[in-house]
Amino acid sequence: MRVDILGVPVDRLTIDQTVQRVTELVGAGRPARVITLNPEYLYRGVTDDKALLELVHRADLVTADGEGIVWAGRVAGKPFPERVTGIDLMLALVQQAAQEGWRVFLLGAAPGVAEEAAENLRRQYPGLQVAGTYHGYFKQDEETAVAERVREAEPQVLFAALGAPKQERWIDQYIESIGPVVAMGVGGSLDVIAGRVTRAPRWMQSLRVEWLGRLVMEPSRWRRILVLPRFAWLVQRYYRLARRNR
């Protein structure tokens, strides 16, 4: 079941159901794209860069990341069962990978971070097979070689932490050449897993103000927050018009 948020389809699934769907995609043995959609990405797509929306339409699975998307689901009259963020989904998938014997590839973040993240994940999820790691600061003319490296490692799941929307563009461009892999962008998750950045405390997450915590810890994010009221305005207008035209 999907809901239309500002013209793009977003899946209405719990995190467990999302893991189930990814398991089916891995079983299908073909390239598959997963996008955890947040308001900043969608706002940019709608107002400025339509190609970003194309990527969402092409995705096999789109999750409601960010409170702004969850709120938009309520405005649309089709609430999401819960928020499915990049890091939460990644950790749930890593657990599944350890159980199922899938090989995972960690791509992105500063040199050394993906290796540290891999070490922590292996410790936390015994039996996890990390097919490979590579940092995210390669030049444009190295992109093909990086994709080749991932292909040779033959992972079932690829986590790309290059920041949005770079990671979504990269995945879209190279996934067919990599082959049967489920690929998803995970933003700053490798930094968190490696212990380089701390996530906002749980009480903040449950009060739905994780964004506020991130703002306090990384003040440079304030520009992104400014998008939220504009996004909210677009959503209100979109559904008011939709109701009027019904």
Residue 188 is a binding residue for ligand UDP (CB under 6 A): yes
What single-letter DSSP state applies at residue 199?
P
Residue 45: CB atoms within 10 Å: 21
Minimal distance, residue 203 CB to ligand UDP, in Å: 21
Residue 217: CB atoms within 10 Å: 12
> 51 to 110, contacts with ligand UDP by CB under 6 A?
108-110
Judged by CB under 6 A, the number of residues near ligand UDP is 14
Cβ atoms 62, 35 nearer than 8 A: yes
Cβ atoms 214, 192 nearer than 8 A: no
Q: Which of 62, 91, 153, 162 contacts ligand UDP by CB under 6 A?
A: 162
Across-strand partners of 103?
129
Comparing CB distances to ligand UDP, the nearer of 15 and 192 is 192
- 201's CB contacts (< 8 A; 6+ apart) are 213
Residue 213 is a binding residue for ligand UDP (CB under 6 A): no
Residue 164 is a binding residue for ligand UDP (CB under 6 A): yes
Minimal distance, residue 195 CB to ligand UDP, in Å: 13
Stretch binding ligand UDP (CB under 6 A), from 10-18, 46-54, 124-132, 158-166: 158-166
Query: Residue 179, by phi and psi: left (phi above 0), alpha (psi -120 to 50) or beta?
Result: left
Comparing CB distances to ligand UDP, the nearer of 26 and 87 is 87
Residue 161 is a binding residue for ligand UDP (CB under 6 A): yes
Long-range contact list for 142-147, CB < 8 A, 24+ apart? 143/170, 143/173, 143/174, 144/174, 144/177, 146/107, 146/174, 147/174, 147/177, 147/178
| Nearest alpha carbon to residue 157 among 88, 87, 106, 92 | 106
Minimal distance, residue 81 CB to ligand UDP, in Å: 23
> 127 to 146, contacts with ligand UDP by CB under 6 A?
136-137
Comparing CB distances to ligand UDP, the nearer of 93 and 109 is 109
Comparing CB distances to ligand UDP, the nearer of 191 and 210 is 191
Stretch binding ligand UDP (CB under 6 A), from 13-21, 58-66, 155-163, 169-177: 155-163
Distance CA 179, CA 152 (A): 10
Q: Which residues bind ligand UDP (CB under 6 A)?
A: 108-110, 136-137, 161-164, 166, 187-188, 190-191
